[in-house]
């Protein structure tokens, strides 16, 4: 079928028209955008929304697999980062907010 389509598109001398290569490039970029870039952006947005709803007392899981309860959330002003203090068992751990992948029963989508 592909050969028949290419045969129909070819000129009388058997060469492809000049607009065919740019069309292929545009199609490849379009497929790349819709299959890779767009879903990653949506996943990042959902993860940001999940972290935005984080509050003290929430049960969380970090990317490293640590389960615990949020004890404190504070902003590091000079670095524009958020640090979360998690109480896990008998220990207290400080992690970056972006490393939290699950809040309660809601899991962040994989990007």
Q: What is the pTM of this model?
A: 0.69
pLDDT, residue 7, reads 62
Residue 74 near residue 83 (C-beta atoms within 8 A): yes
Residues 8, 93: Cα–Cα separation, whole Å: 66
Residues 51, 100: Cα–Cα separation, whole Å: 8
> Number of folded domains in the chain?
1
Q: Which pair of structure tokens corresponds to residue 32?
A: 């790349």
pLDDT, residue 67, reads 94
- Domain of residue 35 covers 1-111
- Residuewise pLDDT in 10s, the chain (111 residues): 566 656 656 665 667 777 888 889 999 999 999 998 999 999 999 999 999 889 999 999 999 999 999 999 998 888 778 999 999 999 999 999 989 999 988 888 774
């Amino acid at each position: 079928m592909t050969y028949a389509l290419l045969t129909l598109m070819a000129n009388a001398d058997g060469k492809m028209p000049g607009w065919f290569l740019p069309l292929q490039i545009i199609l490849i970029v379009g497929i790349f955008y819709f299959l890779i870039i767009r879903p990653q952006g949506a996943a990042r947005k959902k993860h940001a929304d999940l972290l935005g709803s984080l509050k003290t007392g929430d049960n969380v899981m970090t990317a490293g697999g640590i389960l615990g309860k949020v004890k404190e959330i504070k902003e590091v002003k000079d670095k524009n980062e958020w640090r979360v203090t998690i109480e896990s068992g008998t220990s207290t751990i400080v992690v970056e907010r972006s490393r939290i992948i699950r809040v309660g029963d809601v899991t962040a989508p994989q990007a």
